[in-house]
Amino acid sequence: MTSLPVPAAPEPGRDCPLCPRLAEFRAEARAKHPDWHNAPVASFGDAKAQLLIVGLAPGMQGANRTGRPFTGDYAGDLLYATLLEYGFAKGVYQARPDDGLKLVDCRISNGVRCVPPQNKPLPAEINTCRPFLANTIATMPKLRAIVLLGRIAHDTTLKALGIRAVTAPFGHGSVHKAERFKLYDSYHCSRYNTNTGVLTPKMFRSVFAAVRKELDS
Ligand code: SF4
């Protein structure tokens, strides 16, 4: 593992211009929905948490609308229900950033901070946003476990950590050791994956059960 690159600005500004296509898409969304967040979505949760969850990117009607990761779309329903079940959140998830839900020893971020068209960021956009992910990881002093939701989150996090992909292939339920961290792979909790049976709630819960066991040991 190499030392983590830390960008000069730890969080992107509301008008981050680094990905022109995404900045243009953001501007279109602002024109159509001026009451939505329509900006890079900041990480949610305490930087002193032991668990970090890395998703792909904000969903248009989810985090891009509400401004809180995984809040307001189907993926959030499954994620927050599972976090509540395993003690990584408390309160009641009501799909709104002001629902009072608190994460417990857990933080949620995305590999790409701005909503991409069709939920598909380009490789260059993933690369451009990676320093913000690297900074998120580098500024979590107690971090022990990272849950990677989907292959893109897996790949970009490995790169952020300087881990060679061949040493940690993606697979649902796979666990990779990386110095002080353990990386837990999961299929993304998207509506598509759950509707098609690629990911069942039971499969998803098993990932967080393993994290819970590790952090409680
Ligand atoms: S995806 Fe990341 S790097 Fe690209 S414009 Fe948004 S915040 Fe900036």
- C-alpha 14 – ligand 1 centre gap (Å): 9
Q: Are 177 and 61 in contact (CB under 8 A)?
A: no
- What's the CA gap between 75 and 78, in Å, rounded? 6
The residue whose C-alpha atom lies closest to atom 3 belonging to ligand 1 is 129
Please check the confidence at residue 4 and state whether its pLDDT lies above 60: no
Tokens of 86: 């395993």
Question: How would DSSP label each residue in 123-167?
Answer: HHHHHHHHHHHHHHHHT-TT--EEEEESHHHHHHHHHHHT--GGG
pLDDT recorded at residue 9: 56
The Å distance, Cα 64 to ligand 1 centre, comes to 13
Distance 114 CA to ligand 1 centre (A): 6
State pLDDT tens for residues 70-123: 999 999 999 999 999 999 999 999 999 999 999 999 999 999 999 999 999 999
Closest to 48 in 3D by CA, of 108, 105, 109, 6 = 105
Asked whether 19 lines ligand 1 (CB < 6 A), one says: yes
Q: Ligand 1 atom 2: the closest Cα is on which residue? A: 129
